[in-house]
Structure 1
Amino acid sequence: MEKRFPERRLFLRSDTETRFIRLKPGTQLLAWTGVTLTVAWTIIATAILLMDSIGAGNFRAQAMRDKLVYEERLNAISDERDARAAEAVAAQQRFSSALEQVSMMQSALLRTEDRRRELETGLEAVQATLRRTMTEREESESQVAALTAAMETGDGAPGTGALSGELQGTLDILADALADTAEERDEIAENAEFAVTRAQDLELELRLMRDRNDEIFRQIEEAMTVSVEPLDDMFRAAGMDTEDMLAAVRSGYSGTGGPLTPLSFSTMGGEPDEDTLRANGILNRLDEINLYRIAAERAPFDFPLRDAYRMTSGFGMRWGRMHEGTDFAGPIGTPIYATADGVVTHAGWSSGYGRLIKLQHEFGIETRYGHLNAIRVNVGQRVSRGERIGDMGNSGRSTGPHLHYEIRVGGTAVNPMIYIRAGSDVF
């Protein structure tokens, strides 16, 4: 120590005297150690502050970028939802207008059929009358010929003059009857010709009406196809059997009556015509859209957050263990919303989940919301899609405030992003 820190003297000189301070090796070592520790602490503290400032700046910048991306996505989803809603409203309006036109055409078609049947009946009556008149005319002509022959071959026997007078009167009566019959025949022929022409015009009008009906039905069928296919793709993308799902919804909503009752365009009995089958097919597709709407409200296609968030962990293996949900980080107190209609089956503390909410939905689907800071529902309570059920927190086995979101189908965990992405493609 004396080699490295030899004893030193610090002289303090004034006008009248000179003093000195003796610096022993131990004192020098202590002073050097203190200065070294102070400088080292200053360097380390400065580095920590700089790193923290840089990290906080990066985190804030990342948060701002995530927020902007999220807001842009929300705006895009909102625009797409509005467009889909506008398309649905337009399709509904087109369908209502088409139904009104179909109803008007149905009434006109029934009136045309009644008029055609009346014309056919009148034509048959005219033809029968004409045949009867022709028969009577032939009989009258035969009688006139017989009487004329009798007059020409008369031998002047007694009573011949009286008989000739009677024959002449009969001939006059028959001539008048034949003239009336001829006029009636000509009138009947004109009526028959008019009836045939009118029937041809009605047949042409009926054919044009059927062409218009076919065009209207085709447009409505295309609109139904465009409306149903995205919904069907959404449920299939989520791995759900659409036929079983629709059957389950239909069994819960099995009442009949109202505007969706099958149409009947004919009261004559027998098998339904092609227009009836097509109209009922459109009504069935409209009913299918309604069933899809009901199913979409009862399946978790919505997103549990409305505020800015950061996805910190996805579904799958993590640190050698299965992570059965998706984590979304955000500030403590961020509102959490139900992603579908359902019933609360659990609302309380649950081991590593911390404060946990379980919602049971239709089709054997369950959603879980873990690590909450506050729970706003009770067990047995029915909640609606988009209803606030809790607040984001840091309870349970958690490294920071976030939401652990799970979807289970039949007790088996599935990737929540499948449902979220499928819903974002439609809503």
Structure 2
Amino acid sequence: MPKRLVNSLNASLERWLPEKRLFLRSDDATRFVRLRPATQLLALGAVTTVFGWTLVASSILAIDAVSSGNSRDQVTRVQSAFEQRLAELSQERDARASEALAAQNRFTVALDQVSEMQSKLLASEEERRELERGLKVVQSTLRDAIAERDTAKQQTAEAQDSDSTDRSEEFAVALDILSGELRNTATDRSQARKEAEEAKLAAQELQVERDQIIARNDQILTQLEDAVSISIEPLDKVFRSVGMDPDDVLTTIRKGYSGQGGPLNPISYSTRGDAALSQGETKANKVIVTLDQMNTYRIAIEKLPLAMPVLDSFRWTSPFGRRWGRMHEGVDMAGPVGTPIYATGDGVITFAGRQSGYGNLIKIKHELGTETRYGHLSRIRVKAGQRVSQGERIGDMGNTGRSTGPHLHYEVRMNGRAVDPMSFIKAASNVQ
């Protein structure tokens, strides 16, 4: 049966592929090989298959090369956009800081003006009290002079009845002298009243000017309060985005920066307008508290590993999370062997050597309970116990340990628990 099918197939193909013979001649004999139509069809099919496979493989390689180039271009564009965004955020932060500094300077000037006006007001009140005391003394002197005049008149009348004309002349001279003193006392009293009125007018003018300064001061404090409130929001988001409680961070930083001291001197305030002054002092205290919080946040951010470990060109090859049924506790950044690796924050080297799986590994302990790890290095440039700064070169990218190619395995741990390093890298964009 199979032979019959082969013969039938050869007969059908005879029209397009006639039978051919391949002659092999030697010195003493001649032989030939018969190429039937089915054999020729099989050979043509094999040649066509090989040619098609070669064409498809070449197309796949070409498409892969083009896709690789496009990926590198896309990574370059994304990196450029990211750097531009970082620059814009940095400029915006500087502008906000300049506005806060200018508002703080205006607030200081306003406080100085209020203090100066308060001193002038206290001095005017003291002058008014002195004038009132002088007026009382003048009034008392005037009453005594009037009493003496009445006594003198009574004595003069008695003397006129009992004494001689000479005594009357003496009393008349005494009365003239006393009248002159009374006129002088009345003049002094009028002058004192005039000065008291002028002092009251000056005090009222100082009060109006003081109220205007307090109003301007309140406006400045309101603007400053709004500015620092806007500036504190991105800092608060930084710590929440990396899974840290901002209140705990502030408490920890303040424990390390809690020194106080200096001589304490008594201060005095005017008893007039205490409500307005208290309101301004309350706002000022709120602004000072918020500025202290912002400064504390700044200190805390300087202690976090927010920088990039690789500054040269690289590819993200594996994210944080489950991979191949197991937990991948970091991110992978692929690049050529020898690519510089930098510390992402200030800290102390706790391990620098070879460890199973990681290959050549560096561990850096930072403050606030954070730790970073750099694995698969080709070279380690630091030693255990060494203190490093953010941006300092600590090693070179390599392919040691359990690795399929040269790359950096970068981890961030908080209190011993692995967290996504991308949350720290993205958080850095909020403070640039």
Instruction: Give TM-score, length-normalised by structure 2.
Output: 0.82
Counterpart residue identity of residue 184, structure 1: D
Compute the displacement of 1:20 (Å). Answer: 9.6
SS in 2 for 1:22: strand
Deviations 1:358-392 (A, max 9, x none): 11111111111222233222221212122222233
Give, in angstroms, the shift of residue 100 of structure 1.
Answer: 3.8
Query: How far does residue 335 in structure 1 lie from its aligned partner after superposition?
Result: 2.8
Q: Which amino acid aligns with 1:62?
A: S
Instruction: For residue 101 of structure 1, report the CA deviation from its aligned partner.
Output: 4.2
Matches of 2:409 and 2:245, distance apart in 1: 27
Helix, strand or coil for the counterpart of 2:378? strand
Instruction: Give runs of aligned pairs for residues 8-87 of structure 1, distance below 5 A.
Output: 8=21, 10=23, 22-24=31-33, 40-87=49-96
CA distance in 1, matches of 2:388, 2:248: 24
Spell out, residue by residue over 1:261-308, the C-alpha distance to the aligned partner (whole angstroms, 9 max, x if none): 899893579999635555454444333322222211111223323234
Q: Distance in 2 between matches of 1:20 and 1:75?
A: 85
Letter in 1 for 2:301: A
- Which consecutive unaligned segments of at least 5 residues does structure 1 have? 13-18
Deviation of 1:9 after TM superposition, in Å, equals 5.3
Q: 1:112, CA displacement in angstroms?
A: 0.9
CA distance in 1, matches of 2:146, 2:77: 101
How well do the aligned residues superpose, as a CA RMSD in angstroms? Answer: 3.7
Match of 1:412 among 403, 417, 420: 417
Give SS of 1:352's match: coil
| SS of the residue 1:363 aligns to | coil
- Cα deviations across residues 208-266 of structure 1 (Å, max 9, x unaligned)? 22222222222222222222222122112222122222232223334447xxx899893
Structure 1 65/165 Cα, relative in aligned 2: closer, same or farther at 3 Å? Answer: same
- Asked if 1:116 is matched to 2:90, the reply is no
**Partner Cα separation in structure 1 for residue 99 and residue 328 of structure 2:** 44
CA distance in 1, matches of 2:182, 2:75: 104
What is the match of residue 183 of structure 1? Answer: 187
Shift of 1:411: 0.9
What SS does the corresponding residue of 2:352 show, helix, strand or coil? strand
Match of residue 339, structure 1, among 337, 344, 355: 344
> Would you say 1:377 and 2:386 are equivalent positions?
no
Q: TM-score, normalized by length of structure 1?
A: 0.83
Q: Which residue matches 1:287?
A: 292
Provide the residue aligned with 2:14 in structure 1: none
Q: How many residues align?
A: 413
Hey, what does 1:266 align to over in structure 2?
A: 267
- Give the corresponding residue for 2:140: 132
1: CA distance, partners of 2:322 / 2:355: 22
Give the letter for the 2:375 counterpart: G
| 8 Å CA contact 2:128, 2:196 repeated in 1 | no
Contact 1:126 1:192 in 2 (8 A): no
Deviation at 1:80, TM superposition (A): 1.3
Whole-angstrom CA distance in 1 between matches of 2:289 and 2:420: 33
SS of the residue corresponding to residue 237 of structure 2 reads helix
- Could you tell me which residue of structure 1 aligns to residue 98 of structure 2? 89
Q: Is 1:322 equivalent to 2:324 in the alignment?
A: no
For residues 299-345 of structure 1, the C-alpha deviation after alignment (integer angstroms, 9 at most, x for no partner) is: 12233232343333222222221221222333333332222111111
Q: Percent identity?
A: 38
Partner residue of 1:199 out of 196, 203, 217: 203
Once residues 264 and 100 of structure 2 are traced to their aligned partners in structure 1, the CA distance between those partners, rounded to angstroms, is 20
CA distance, structure 2, for counterparts of residue 120 and residue 48 of structure 1: 105
CA distance in 1 between partners of 2:297 and 2:97 (Å):
13
